[in-house]
Structure 1
Amino acid sequence: MNRLTSRLLAFAGLLTIEVGFGIVLFVVAFAMFFYMARVVFVHHSMAFDSWATGVVNGWQHAQPWLDWPADFVTFFGSLFFLLPASIIAPLWLRHAGHRREALEFVFTMLGSVLLNQLLKVYFNRPRPANKLLHTWGLSFPSGHAMLGLTFYGCLAWLLARHFGRPGWVLPLLLWSGLIGLTRIYLHAHYATDVVAGFAGGAAWLVAMRAGLHLLWKEEKAVLEEGAPNE
């Protein structure tokens, strides 16, 4: 009984401020995803989507030259870019001596891809009919938004935490946000798809980060507890 109590207390000690903030962020992101799902599939409301479509249509009519930059930016949230990048980044991390962070990157991206596809199949929402580029698959949640936030968010975290580059955090997050915006601009997704994708990506990123953080610290605590005293 005393051993169980000591283990529980040791585990509770792993709940740092970082993990506590992660829990709050996870709850907020999950709530946002749930709200978007209710708006679309329970209330069948198109108000937000119609408003966002009207805004981007205004941009297209006023600045038609934006089509090419939108096509360029949206590529960096596609699997054609993220798949090789998700292989190169862990190899780079491993070469830099961050083996666990490399594994974290791999697990996070693989899980995000799988989760996104499962959610798409579950909600089964067709894409907008007036899309400006060839797209395939279902619409809710946006894969570009979800996978983009997962990839660039994970990269931002690792650069800030392990390479002393916190200045990259905001640009990378803004870049992932811009990728999501191009999906609305190109009519490849509804605005609710993109918001839900960001929320799903944030929730998954935080859940994986917090889970692995606790697991590896708990493993370390167990190893230290079992080590013989000199």
Structure 2
Amino acid sequence: MDELRAAEPSLTAWVRRITFFASAPFLTGAGIVLPSLLAWLKRRREALELFLAVLGSTLLNQFLKSHFHRSRPETALFPQPGLSFPSGHAMIGVALYGCAAWLLWRHGRHPFWSALLLGWALVVGLSRIYLHVHYATDVLAGFAAGIVWLVLLRTALRLWWREQQQVTIPEEL
């Protein structure tokens, strides 16, 4: 990455723009606006799933950061507050973009956009390594934790919705 930065110094400005798309302000807005839009479109389950993906991954990320308490690299290209492990940009980005990709894929719409969203989550995570605000292990752990959270959330919601469906169906005598 050092060679890339040296060869293309203007790339850093672009990478800083990319990393914004998993920053706290962006994720907060997206975590509220996108579920609201889905709810307005009468996609309440999808709205709940996307909201919980972002909220849950945010809470889990803060718990993991406080547990591991790893400092950021001293070579960061710009100062970043907070702890390093796992990368919140990678973890919450995977949760948001991964959940959106899953929802698009599940409804059989736009598999290209699903793949693009997953690729974008990967690029955002890699931007954190490029900017030296995270170690590669922070980003990998963020990706892994975000995926684990999505799998757990999806499983829990499926079970809950199945249980709700069974409760509403009256038993025959």
Q: TM-score, normalised by structure 1?
A: 0.72
- 1:217 aligns to 2:162 (yes or no): yes
**Which has the bigger relative contact order, CA under 8 A and spacing at least 6?**
1
Aligned: 1:119 with 2:64: yes
Per-residue CA deviation, residues 6-56 of structure 1 (Å, 9 max, x unaligned), is xxxxxxxxxxxxxxxxxxxxxxxxxxxxxxxxxxxxxxxxxxxxxxxxxx1
Matching residue within 85, 108, 112 for 1:140: 85
Q: Which amino acid aligns with 1:121?
A: S
2:139 aligned with 1:194: yes
Letter in 2 for 1:209: R
**Structure 2 residue ranges without an equivalent (≥5):** none
Amino acid at match of 1:73: I
How much has 1:222 moved relative to structure 2? Answer: 3.0
Are positions 1:128 and 2:67 aligned together?
A: no
Q: Which one is further off, 156-165 or 194-203?
A: 156-165
Where does residue 103 of structure 1 map in the other structure? 48
Name the SS for the 1:211 alignment partner. Answer: helix
Please show how residues 47-196 of structure 1 align to structure 2 within 5 Å.
56-162=1-107, 164-196=109-141
Shift of residue 228 of structure 1? 5.5
Shift of 1:63: 1.5
Larger radius of gyration: 1
Distance 1:176 1:200, change over 3 A: same
User: Secondary structure in 2 aligned to 1:100?
Assistant: helix
Percent identity of paired positions between Structure 1 and Structure 2: 49
Partner Cα separation in structure 1 for residue 24 and residue 108 of structure 2: 26
TM-score in terms of structure 2 length: 0.95
When the two chains are superposed, the root-mean-square deviation of aligned CA atoms in Å is 1.3
